[in-house]
């Protein structure tokens, strides 16, 4: 019999409180603002727009977000789509 994984998929895991999302939001804001102010995306040395859009989607799934956090993520998504 094959052992089952005890890991819960992100889509089924209970969401974490909004306060725990703030450090991740701050990190994304720092990185995305840096990407938007440099030409690093053109050099191939960054993870790319799709990676950062995926990170935004993961935060939306993992946390109960308050309206301000949702607006912050929407702004980051807009910056990324304008870059891409």
Residue 61 forms part of a structural domain: yes
**pLDDT tens-digit map of 21-42:** 999 999 999 998 988 887 666 5
Residue 69 forms part of a structural domain: yes
State the pLDDT at residue 56. 96
Residue 43 forms part of a structural domain: yes
| DSSP per-residue string spanning 9-60 | PTTTSPPBPGGGGHHHHHHHHHHHHHHHHSSHHHHT-S--HHHHHHHHHHHH
Residue 8 forms part of a structural domain: no
Whole-number mean pLDDT of the chain? 84
Q: Residue 26 sits in which domain range?
A: 18-83
Can you tell me which residue has the tokens 């050099």?
43
Residue 62 forms part of a structural domain: yes
Residue 3 forms part of a structural domain: no
Residue 4 forms part of a structural domain: no
Can you tell me which residue has the tokens 């727009």?
49
2 pLDDT above the threshold of 90: no
Rounded to 5°, the CA angle 81-67-33 comes to 35
Q: Can you tell me the distance from the alpha carbon of 27 to that of 22, in angstroms, rounded to the nearest whole number? A: 9
Residue 44 forms part of a structural domain: yes
16 pLDDT above the threshold of 80: yes
**pLDDT tens-digit map of 38-70:** 766 655 656 778 889 999 999 999 999 999 999
Per the structure, the count of domains in the chain is: 1
């Amino acid at each position: 019999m094959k052992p089952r994984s005890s890991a819960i998929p992100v889509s089924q895991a209970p969401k974490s409180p909004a306060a725990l999302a703030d450090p991740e939001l701050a990190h994304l804001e720092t990185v995305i603002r840096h990407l938007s102010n440099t030409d690093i995306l053109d050099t191939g040395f960054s993870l790319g727009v799709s990676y950062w859009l995926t990170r935004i989607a993961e935060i939306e799934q993992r946390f109960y977000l308050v309206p301000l956090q949702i607006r912050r993520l929407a702004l980051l998504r807009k910056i990324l789509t304008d870059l891409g």
